[in-house]
Amino acid sequence: MKVEIPWRKRKLIAQLIDPDRAGEEVLVTASHFGVEVGVDLFLAGGSLTGVNVADVIRRLKQLSSIPVVLFPGNLTQLTPEADAVFLLSLISGRNPELLIGNHVIAAPFLKSIRDRVIPVGYMLIDCGGGTSVEYMSQTLPIPSGKTDIAVATALAGEMLGMKAIYLEGGSGAARPVDHSLIRAVREELTIPIITGGGIDSAEKVENAFAAGADMVVIGNGCEQNPALIKGACTVRDSFNRDTVTI
Ligand code: 1GP
């Protein structure tokens, strides 16, 4: 099933499911809780092996009708099971494989599901501590204070035709992407902004939405505290009631 993601119409909460840590209990809890509180999307993928990502997506789709978006950490995670695929280009880095190399290898496969492919400019922002994505991608994140570099990078992504920009602090980051950086990017961009990494409280969800994020992604925070997703969706609902987005 192809999904239209309603970003820029309303704020969205996505729960990241890391296939390396997703046993049956995790999937059942996430699905049941997700339906109850109205999670908008599941993202499935991770920085490490993700060998069972296709099984995880199939199971998530059996358990609920919440759309599942593949968020591939590497080429081995590519699968046609998902409702959409984020085709990530790591535009904050200078690793040619993650800018275009892997995309060339994946293109013949992606052609078969091309109407479900969403090109996303993926930007790693330094949010304290080394993260898996930083190590695995062998790229330097954009320093948190270098707002001008972040804005120029995001603008370049938009003008290259990306359909969204992902401001990534890295899974388990010490702190979320700085709100002033999100705000500065929001002021210059017309495409949706996704942010995630280190968001482990409803207050941090609120800060990200208030700064202009269209979609907030939560992974670790929900693994440690499944009730967080409820608080996150309550915050989202308050924005969707009070805020008119374009
Ligand atoms: C990672 O942005 C996501 O790609 C989620 O990060 O696990 O820290 O919530 P967390």
Domain of 91, CATH number, reads: 3.20.20.390
What distance in angstroms lies between residue 80's CA and the mean position of ligand 1's atoms?
23
* Residue 7, domain member (yes or no): no
Q: What is the pLDDT of residues 107-143, one digit of tens each?
A: 999 999 999 999 999 999 999 878 889 999 999 999 9
Asked whether 220 lines ligand 1 (CB < 6 A), one says yes
Q: What is the pLDDT of residues 141-195, one digit of tens each?
A: 999 999 999 999 999 999 999 999 999 999 989 999 999 999 999 999 999 999 9
* Residue 152, domain member (yes or no): yes
Domain carrying residue 143:
12-238
* Total number of domains in the chain: 1
What distance in angstroms lies between residue 198's CA and the mean position of ligand 1's atoms?
6
* Residue 96, domain member (yes or no): yes
Which atom, in ligand 1's list, is nearest to the CA of 199?
Answer: 9
| Contact status, residue 43 vs residue 217, Cβ threshold 8 Å | yes
Could you tell me which residues are beta bridge partners of residue 117? 85
Of 189, 137, 174, the C-alpha closest to 7 is 189
* Residue 69, domain member (yes or no): yes
Q: Is the pLDDT of residue 244 over 60?
A: no
* Residue 245, domain member (yes or no): no
Asked whether 72 lines ligand 1 (CB < 6 A), one says no
Of the chain, the percentage scoring pLDDT greater than 90 comes to 87
Asked whether 168 lines ligand 1 (CB < 6 A), one says yes
Task: Give the strand pairing for 164-168 and 193-196.
Answer: parallel
Asked whether 197 lines ligand 1 (CB < 6 A), one says yes
* Residue 1, domain member (yes or no): no
Nearest residue (by CA) to ligand 1, atom 4, is: 171
Query: pTM value?
Result: 0.96
Asked whether 15 lines ligand 1 (CB < 6 A), one says no
| Contact status, residue 232 vs residue 202, Cβ threshold 8 Å | yes
* Predicted local distance difference test score (pLDDT) of residue 8: 87
| Contact status, residue 72 vs residue 86, Cβ threshold 8 Å | yes
* Residue 3, domain member (yes or no): no
* Residue 225, domain member (yes or no): yes
Return the HEC string of 162-227: CCEEEEECCCCCCCCCCHHHHHHHHHHCCCCEEEECCCCCHHHHHHHHHHCCCEEEECHHHHHCCC
